[in-house]
């Protein structure tokens, strides 16, 4: 039995939101969908993606290269927000005008944290992938030039326009998202000379139309899937997308700001997370190869103590014989799907 298109329900929800008189319509639609189809999807059709309802096929590789069963891609988020927007280190000060403390926190990450982080990866000889706000090179041209010089071959994933005021046009239909994704890709290419093959939604806030819009614009892989240890291919009506797992737990910003983790705590989390995947792989050499994309941010790993923790993490992971430290595009090539479409 075919699962109904979630995007139709989402469109109805946004229509209902416009009128409090009909707000019960949204509740009824969502309730019907999850009660009627959620159990069916989980119980009888494990090849259907839970978030989109599209077919999703796992890739069954036993290793990425000889002896390497755990692929790890660190992805550095290079973002802009605009004055008064962005993450707050001291939320109790966010209502101040101007909020100098939190603005300094964000600016330090841009002006010092990015280059420090890039330097660590370059010195350690570990590949790094870059998720780039399209507005960043134009708004911070000197910073971008210095940072890019450290890692000139690092893959650039499109990360929307910015991370605050120009995010995805959710609820406005597929055509609006296709236009947004295209504008993001065009601007990144204009300012960097690179046409991005990968996508990561700003603030990890997309919907079913985002996957379709990415496929329609020639995106080959996305980090918007967060629920697996394995690569898989999502079959949208517009084409296929390689889903690279980007689990929420190892992302540094959520742990740092939401749970008061220090960089040393993140070091322990990362080495435990990857180390356990490595132990599982060594116990089951014929089992499937695993992969994890780990999101890092210059607020966390770009401070002096953050860079020290990042360096120790990389040195520890390099010693794990079954771990392959790589970037997103090398991973895509190793999967045998250089272009999954």
| Residue 196 vs residues 16, 219, 220, 258, 280: alpha-carbon distances, Å | 36, 7, 9, 30, 33
Structure confidence at residue 16 (pLDDT): 39
> What is the tens place of the pLDDT at every residue in 142-194?
999 999 999 999 999 999 999 888 999 999 999 999 999 999 999 999 999 99
Structure confidence at residue 259 (pLDDT): 83
Domain residue ranges of the chain, discontinuous segments joined by +: 6-46, 78-219
> What is the tens place of the pLDDT at every residue in 124-143?
999 999 999 999 999 999 99
> What is the tens place of the pLDDT at every residue in 287-339?
999 999 999 999 999 999 999 999 999 999 999 999 999 999 999 999 987 66
> What is the tens place of the pLDDT at every residue in 197-236?
999 999 999 999 999 999 999 999 999 999 999 999 999 9
Backbone angles phi, psi at 75, to 5 degrees: -120, 115
Asked if the model's pLDDT at residue 32 lies above 50, the reply is no
| Residue 314 vs residues 127, 150, 244, 256, 276: alpha-carbon distances, Å | 11, 17, 20, 19, 16
Share of the chain above pLDDT 70, in %: 85
Structure confidence at residue 73 (pLDDT): 98
Q: In sequence order, which residues have a C-beta less than 8 Å from that of residue 43 and are 6 or more positions away?
A: none
Share of the chain above pLDDT 90, in %: 72
Structure confidence at residue 169 (pLDDT): 97
CB 263 within 8 A of CB 305: yes
Structure confidence at residue 12 (pLDDT): 40
Tokens of 174: 């597929």
| Residue 153 vs residues 28, 156, 166, 193, 327: alpha-carbon distances, Å | 50, 9, 27, 12, 10
Asked if the model's pLDDT at residue 40 lies above 60, the reply is no
Structure confidence at residue 150 (pLDDT): 98
Structure confidence at residue 74 (pLDDT): 98
89 against 98, higher pLDDT: 98
**In sequence order, what are the beta bridge partners of 158?**
132, 199
Least confident of 15-24, 53-62, 311-320: 15-24
> What is the tens place of the pLDDT at every residue in 181-192?
999 999 999 999
Which CATH number is correct for 78-219, 3.30.930.10, 3.20.20.370, 3.40.50.300, 1.20.1070.10?
Answer: 3.20.20.370
Mean predicted confidence (pLDDT) in 40-48 = 48
> pTM of the predicted model, to two decimals?
0.85
Alpha carbons 40 and 10: distance in angstroms, whole number: 20
Tokens of 287: 């089992």
CB 159 within 8 A of CB 333: no
pLDDT tier at 21 (50, 70, 90 boundaries)?
A: very low
Asked if the model's pLDDT at residue 263 lies above 60, the reply is yes
Alpha carbons 59 and 288: distance in angstroms, whole number: 9
Mean predicted confidence (pLDDT) in 238-260 = 93
**Average pLDDT of the residues of the chain:** 86
17 against 227, higher pLDDT: 227
Structure confidence at residue 99 (pLDDT): 72
């Amino acid at each position: 039995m075919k699962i109904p298109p979630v995007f139709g329900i989402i469109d109805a929800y946004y229509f209902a939101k416009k009128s409090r008189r009909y707000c019960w319509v949204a509740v009824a639609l969502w309730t019907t969908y999850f009660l009627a189809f959620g159990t069916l999807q989980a119980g009888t059709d494990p090849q259907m993606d839970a978030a989109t309802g599209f077919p999703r096929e796992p890739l069954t590789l036993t290793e990425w290269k000889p002896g390497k069963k755990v692929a790890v891609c660190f992805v550095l988020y290079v973002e802009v927000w605009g004055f008064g927007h962005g993450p707050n280190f001291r939320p109790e000060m966010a209502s101040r005008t101007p909020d100098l403390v939190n603005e300094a926190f964000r600016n330090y990450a841009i002006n010092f944290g990015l280059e420090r982080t890039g330097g660590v990866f370059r010195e350690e000889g570990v590949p790094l992938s870059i998720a780039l706000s399209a507005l960043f090179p134009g708004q911070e041209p000197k910073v971008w030039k210095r940072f890019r010089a450290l890692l000139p071959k690092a893959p650039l994933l499109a990360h929307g326009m910015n991370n605050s005021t120009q995010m995805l046009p959710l609820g406005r239909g597929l055509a609006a998202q296709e236009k947004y994704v295209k504008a993001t890709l065009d601007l990144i290419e204009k300012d960097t000379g690179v046409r991005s093959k990968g996508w990561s939604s700003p603030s990890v806030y997309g919907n079913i139309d985002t996957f379709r819009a990415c496929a329609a614009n020639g995106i080959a892989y996305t980090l918007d899937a967060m629920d697996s240890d394995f690569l898989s291919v999502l079959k949208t009506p517009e084409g296929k997308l390689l889903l690279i797992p980007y689990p929420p737990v190892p992302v540094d910003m959520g742990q740092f700001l939401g749970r008061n983790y220090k960089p040393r705590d993140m070091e322990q989390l990362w080495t435990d997370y990857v180390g356990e995947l490595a132990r599982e792989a060594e116990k089951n050499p014929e089992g499937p190869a695993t992969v994890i994309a780990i999101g890092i941010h210059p607020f966390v790993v770009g401070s002096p103590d953050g860079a020290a923790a990042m360096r120790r993490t990389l040195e520890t992971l390099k010693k794990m014989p079954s771990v392959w430290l790589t970037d997103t595009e090398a991973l895509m090539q190793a999967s045998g799907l250089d272009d999954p479409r």
